[in-house]
Structure 1
Amino acid sequence: MYPRGLSFDRDFILRDLKGRFITARTHPKLVLVEASLTPGGLLLSAPGMPNLEVSYAAFSNQYLDVKVWGSEISAQHCQASADQWFSTYLETDCQLVYFGEQSSREVSGHEGQPVSFADGYPLLLISQGSLNDLNSKCPAPISFAHMRPNIVVSSIAPFAEDSWSQIRIGEVEFDVVEACSRCVFTTVDPKTGIRNEFKEPLKTLKQYRRDEKGEVFFGQNLIPRNQGLSGWVIRWKYSAANHRYPCYRQTSDYSAQSSRSNPTTSRNCFSRLRGDTVFAAPCWLFSQPLFCNTLLINNCCWLAFSPASLPSSPQRYSHGRRVN
């Protein structure tokens, strides 16, 4: 874990010839591009295209401006062969750029907090319970690939993460900054690159996860407070201030059952949740998870795991409130 997020996470981006960033919001076929790490860079593949080797050693020394929402970033131009490959695949002229040594960007409203080419924040957390709750209401099956989280937490009540203000995974601490506003990107099927004709899951989320301004929220944005490796136990700190969406209807209270648990408190007031398991944390590249081999799991692309010794009952250690 580094100040701007996970290693390799969203360090590459496409720009058009006017410097505007390109994503699967406007070019859904991008979700079908698959990437894997090589000793010297990346190996990319896509339907109907030959494999492309992207080599760090072949990168240009030229830096080009790319605009990501309200940020203008100076990014390192990769290589002409990558430009041609993506331009052919997307049928539009574009260039592949990298968040190089001379690149810099800060999270809006958080001076000094670096971030790469992510929409706004270094990390996104979603719980398995929240996704299950959505799938119980949505007519179209929705996977985590639709939502693209970096961190997935199991064994908690649906939307318990809405009440968190800080979490700790191993030696890394995170601020849970704000809920993630969702857009049309979530309607693109990650397996086919086709948008859902009924605009799901946004249509369903608007029924119970919309605020007074009409924005739809799903997941929580995180900022790392320090660097380090992850571990097995996730710790979290509840904040009532995080319940700031009055349109959410709170119904079921999941409180800790101290008679069956033995929670401890660390020196920084994080409560240990032995029932919570972080089990997946991919990095994202061109809207697809960037998978590593097992030798890289502990130090780059995956944050934490599911030890079988941890109990799994969500009611034993959850403090937040379920949101329906």
Structure 2
Amino acid sequence: MTASLTLQDLYIYPIKSLGGIRLSESTTERRGLRHDRRWLLVDERNQFLTQRQNPAMALLRLAPAYNGFLLTHAQRPDLLPLYIPFEATPERTLFVTIWDDMVFAWRGTPEADEWLTEALGKVCRLVYMSDMVRRDVEPELNPEGQLLSFADEYPFLLIGQSSLDDLNGRLTESVLMDRFRPNLVVSGGPAFGEDTWEQFQIGDVTFRAVRACGRCVMTTVNQQTALKSAHGEPLRTLASYRTIGGKVMFGQNLTVSGRGQLRVGDTVELLSVKP
């Protein structure tokens, strides 16, 4: 008998590459879960910033607040919590670069820029992606014209808990799921069973698993301490048995058919598998 599949966890990352928030329920939208990665930090050249080059970003944590979020620094109590609204206003705008894309963005407040510059020790600006921006998911794999937030490649990332358990069984020191920054964590089923999924449904929402997610050095950053692994773990171990086409794969990139509601504890129903 096939093990039942359940939505175990839901996460959003309101500001790309900063701390995530675990939710009990969320709404799916064209660009991902509501409020996921709609804010971004950029440098003085308007180039996007991530933990790849700035691991200290892991120490910046977000918590839900009324109509927005509260941003704090895990090791700097002298920095008072900063309020970040769900959305910016179009009063100040600029173009920002994220990977190969240049997109229009709305500026956050000068106070936010000052707080973040002090927190990270480098000049940075906070920007917001409005619904007017068009940033397409890989068109060759997504003819339906899916849109993207400031996420790297796809609106949603799913990982099976069994897959992390398998990895931790091979490591000297276990790692937490937050190293991999998924939106959806599913329990039940075998390790890496999600590699075979094509169409599946959670609640009233239908997802398509498009392709595996290639992982990078960011997975070596401890999200509690912002320190990088001296031995390149867990990426080094993952590479020993999860390298496909020169990339280290962990998790599945997803698109969604429409808006709907997800709740932790929802049943995951597999509709079709990849040929």
**Would you say same fold, with TM above 0.5?**
yes
Paired residues, number: 240
CA pair 169-58 structure 1, distance change in 2 beyond 3 A: closer
SS at match of 2:206: strand
State how far apart, in whole Å, the 2-side matches of 1:55 and 1:71 are.
25
CA pair 235-83 structure 1, distance change in 2 beyond 3 A: same
Q: Which amino acid aligns with 1:62?
A: R
Q: Which amino acid aligns with 1:217?
A: M
CA pair 6-19 structure 1, distance change in 2 beyond 3 A: same
SS at match of 1:237: strand
Aligned residue number for residue 81 of structure 2? 51
Q: Which amino acid aligns with 1:32?
A: L
Does the aligned pair in 1 maintain the 2:35–2:86 contact within 8 Å?
no
SS at match of 1:116: coil
Which structure's residues are more often helix, by fraction? 1
Which structure's residues are more often strand, by fraction? 2
Q: After superposition, what is the alpha-carbon deviation per residue over 1:177-213, rounded to whole angstroms, capped at 9, x for unaligned?
A: 00000000000000100000000011001110002x3
Aligned residue number for residue 225 of structure 1? 257
CA pair 57-171 structure 1, distance change in 2 beyond 3 A: closer
- Confirm or deny that 1:70 pairs with 2:100: yes
Q: Which amino acid aligns with 1:237?
A: L
Q: Which amino acid aligns with 1:37?
A: P
Does the aligned pair in 2 maintain the 1:186–1:202 contact within 8 Å?
yes
Which one is further off, 91-100 or 50-59? 50-59
CA pair 57-164 structure 1, distance change in 2 beyond 3 A: closer
Question: Which residue, 247, 258, 264 being the options, matches 1:215?
Answer: 247
1:240 Cα deviation after fit: 4.1
Aligned residue number for residue 206 of structure 1? 239
Q: Which amino acid aligns with 2:262?
A: S
Q: Percent identity?
A: 37
Aligned residue number for residue 5 of structure 1? 32
So what's the TM-score if we normalise by structure 1? 0.71
- Confirm or deny that 1:190 pairs with 2:237: no
Aligned residue number for residue 7 of structure 2? none
1:102 Cα deviation after fit: 3.1
State how far apart, in whole Å, the 2-side matches of 1:131 and 1:9 are.
22
1:58 Cα deviation after fit: 7.0
CA pair 195-9 structure 1, distance change in 2 beyond 3 A: same
Aligned residue number for residue 15 of structure 2? none
Q: Which amino acid aligns with 1:68?
A: I
Does the aligned pair in 1 maintain the 2:88–2:106 contact within 8 Å?
no
State how far apart, in whole Å, the 2-side matches of 1:94 and 1:128 are.
35
CA pair 99-69 structure 1, distance change in 2 beyond 3 A: same
State how far apart, in whole Å, the 1-side matches of 2:209 and 2:243 are.
19
Q: Which has the larger radius of gyration?
A: 1
1:236 Cα deviation after fit: 1.2
State how far apart, in whole Å, the 2-side matches of 1:57 and 1:230 are.
22
SS at match of 1:21: coil
Does the aligned pair in 2 maintain the 1:60–1:79 contact within 8 Å?
no
Q: Which amino acid aligns with 2:121?
A: E
1:80 Cα deviation after fit: 0.4
- The aligned runs of 1:123-202 (5 Å cut-off) are 123-202=156-235
State how far apart, in whole Å, the 2-side matches of 1:59 and 1:88 are.
23
- Confirm or deny that 1:106 pairs with 2:140: no
Does the aligned pair in 2 maintain the 1:76–1:103 contact within 8 Å?
no
Q: CA RMSD in A?
A: 1.6
In structure 2, stretches of 5+ residues that fail to align are 1-27
State how far apart, in whole Å, the 1-side matches of 2:248 and 2:54 are.
22
1:26 Cα deviation after fit: 0.9
State how far apart, in whole Å, the 1-side matches of 2:88 and 2:243 are.
46
